[in-house]
Structure 1
Amino acid sequence: MTPRVFALFAFLLLCMPFQADATSLRKLPVEKHIETIYRLPEVRSNLDYKTLQMAVSGYMRLRDNGVLGNDDVLTIIDYNKPSVRKRMFVIDVNNNRLLASSLVAHGKNSGQNMAMSFSNIPGSFKSSLGFFVTGQTYQGKHGYSLRLKGIERGINSNAETRNIVIHGADYVSEAFIKRHGRLGRSLGCPALPMGSSHRVIDLIKGGSCLFIYNGDDSYVYDSRLVKPDFAMQSGGGASRRS
């Protein structure tokens, strides 16, 4: 092979999209795993790198500790964005694919179009931040729903007591946004559009990792699942937790 042909061959290899099987992705170091996921166009254009870093780092810690019954997917809800934008992303972490993106509501006492205030207190009607593990599905007053277990003490550990679940809601829709300039709000649940909630719930049920964040650095300092130095990467969150 001549030097010119070799150079052309090397260039073509660099230009090829990265692909890896599930086994190789599982063996990647944390930062390489994050970079691989961040190459997905819709992830790169909708999630900041810090949020993805925290989500993947926490997911891998939970996975390696055997906490997850379903470690094929990672779900991220980014409440740093207004409700009129898609803020939920379901990622196939083994095959480097985005499985779903969706509008998602926040609690009515967390804010109007933006979620600004968060709580772990029953009756607060606020959303909670942090890492959750999805549970089982059931048929409730909102139809097909998914239980959530908050696994961060003092941050979201009352999720089950508060009946914080994923469910469909008619106030989560483009039509509602056109009428009101924002989504409707829940009693603290991350509610999804009625037309797609069933599919999303089936993707993430059975013990997968869900991470909810909004740029609040006080959460980073309180969490035992993310590194405190992540808080040094931004100028500080403006939200409140009670």
Structure 2
Amino acid sequence: MDRLTKAAATRRAFLKTAGMVAGTGLLAGCAARSVTTAALPAPTAPLPPPPVATPLPAAPRTVASAPRGIRPELFERAAAALQRHSSRIRQQDRIAIADFSLPSSRLRFHFVDMESGATRAMLVSHGIGSDPGHTGMLQRFSNEVGSEATCEGAFLAANYYVGKHQLSQRLIGLDPTNYNALDRAIVIHGAWYSNPDMIAKHGKLGRSQGCFAVGERDLDTLFAMLGEGRMIYATKV
């Protein structure tokens, strides 16, 4: 069972039970020494303790090349975005990449384990404003409020909430091309129009109002693999 599958199973259990208990502990130790009292020299000022080196956090081990199913140029852009925004992305072990150069009938929402290179993909819709003619292909991005279009760039996966589409997840735009994401309520949610049967009936998914809408049965898996504090990178190359 690969890391993504294990993470998905663990997170699904958390979402269904709506609770998780975590514990941490610190173990402190001390050392003592004994000296003789005979012929002690005259008291002197105590010497300062020797400096203690602070260990640097280990850099996450990343895959060297694009995993199977993700085009190299797209993966390179996503990896560069992860490095660029590393101070804000507290969880860098996995990322999500939305390849909006593909039609909505394709598995274009990729989840990548940055240590093992394991991947998993699912369907995702784009916004009405990005595809006014409902061709199934994203035509343009927009960061404008009221555009109902998908925006591109790096996003930080933020907190969960229950809203119009039930359990959803807020996104924070990190780039000049998507900084309005939070104000526009660009979120992750499940939707009937992103279910696989839409492709069988219409050859494409329905459209969102700019959100990353996935199939209703895929939502728990998505939350399990993404979680909070990780990055989504969306573009068209």
Partners of 1:103 and 1:61 in 2: CA distance: 27
**What is the identity, as a one-letter code, of the residue corresponding to 2:127?**
G
Summarize deviations over 1:118-171 as a string: whole Å, max 9, x none.
100011000000111110111111111111000112x10000000000000011
Matched, 1:190 2:212: yes
* Counterpart contact for 2:111–2:121, Cα < 8 Å: yes
Give the alignment of 1:59-98 within 5 angstroms. 59-63=82-86, 66-98=87-119
Rounded to whole Å, the distance in 2 between the matches of 1:54 and 1:177 is 29
* Mapping of residues 163-182 of structure 1, within 5 Å: 163-182=185-204
- Give the paired residue count: 178
Counterpart contact for 1:145–1:201, Cα < 8 Å: no
Q: Is the 8 A contact 2:196 2:215 kept in 1?
A: no
Give % identity.
Answer: 30
- Report whether the alignment pairs 1:201 with 2:223: yes
Matched, 1:131 2:151: no
SS in 1 for 2:97: strand
Tell me, in whole angstroms, the C-alpha distance in 2 between the residues paired with 1:61 and 1:214.
19
More deviation in 54-63 or 78-87? 54-63
Which residue is equivalent to 1:14?
none
User: Could you say which structure has the higher helix fraction?
Assistant: 1
What is the CA distance between 1:27 and its match in structure 2? 5.1
Residue correspondence of structure 1 range 156-167 to structure 2 within 5 A: 156-167=178-189
In structure 1, the gaps of 5 or more residues are 1-22, 216-242
CA contact (8 A) 1:166 1:201 kept: no
- Structure 1 residue 206: deviation in Å? 1.4
TM-score (norm 2): 0.71
1:122 aligned residue? 145
Residue number in structure 1 paired with 2:123 = 103
Give the equivalent residue in structure 2 for 1:26: 60
Amino acid of the structure 2 residue aligned with 1:164: I
2:223 alignment partner AA: I
Contact (CA 8 Å) 1:138, 1:146: kept in 2 or not? yes
85-94 vs 196-205, greater mean Cα deviation: 196-205
Residues 97 and 232, structure 2, Cα contact 8 Å, conserved in 1 = yes
Larger radius of gyration: 2
Q: Distance between the aligned counterparts of 2:89 and 2:64, measured in 1?
A: 19
In 1: Cα distance, 2:93 partner to 2:82 partner: 10
Runs of 4+ in 1 over 4 A off after TM superposition: none
The residue that corresponds to 2:80 in the other structure is 57
Name structure 2 gaps, 5 residues minimum.
1-56
